[in-house]
Amino acid sequence: GQQVMQIPQYQHVQEGEDFTTYCNSSTTLSNIQWYKQRPGGHPVFLIQLVKSGEVKKQKRLTFQFGEAKKNSSLHITATQTTDVGTYFCAGDFGNEKLTFGTGTRLTIIP
């Protein structure tokens, strides 16, 4: 089946350190989306990447889509306590439904 693998499962960082989570698909994606879920909350849409090699930035967050449209990453520079939560990638294989990765739970050590 169509799967999206995401690593790492957990990441603990000191406040101010950087954080990166990676997603990989075995087949080409139509687009990839990123979501953030705060503890006890629901997923919130962050961004969508559609083009091969696309890079988008939102303040301290940088999102990349691979040249082959099979992998993606989210990088947070200088983490803050407000960044705590689980980050999910979600791949669209062109069939109008998203397949979510298992998520990376980010905890911040003050």
Partner 1 sequence: NAGVTQTPKFQVLKTGQSMTLQCAQDMNHNSMYWYRQDPGMGLRLIYYSASEGTTDKGEVPNGYNVSRLNKREFSLRLESAAPSQTSVYFCASKPGTGNYGYTFGSGTRLTVV
Footprint of partner 1 (CB under 8 A): 1, 6, 9, 30-31, 33, 35, 41-45, 47-48, 50, 88, 90, 92, 96-103
20 versus 99: smaller Cβ distance to partner 1: 99
Task: For the CB of residue 50, give the shortest distance to partner 1 in the complex, in Å.
Answer: 6
* 43/85 with CB nearer partner 1: 43
Residue 37 CB, shortest distance to partner 1, in Å, is: 9
Nearer to partner 1, 22 or 100 (CB): 100
As beta bridge partners, residue 35 has: 45, 88
DSSP H or E stretch at residue 108? strand 104-109
Residue 32 in contact with residue 92, Cβ under 8 Å? yes
Q: Which of 51, 44, 48 is nearest to 28 (CA)?
A: 51
Compute the least distance from the CB of residue 6 to partner 1, in Å.
8
Q: Which is nearer to partner 1, 41 or 53 (CB)?
A: 41
Buried b (16+ CB within 10 A) or exposed e, 5-28: ebeeeebeeeeeeebebbbbbeee
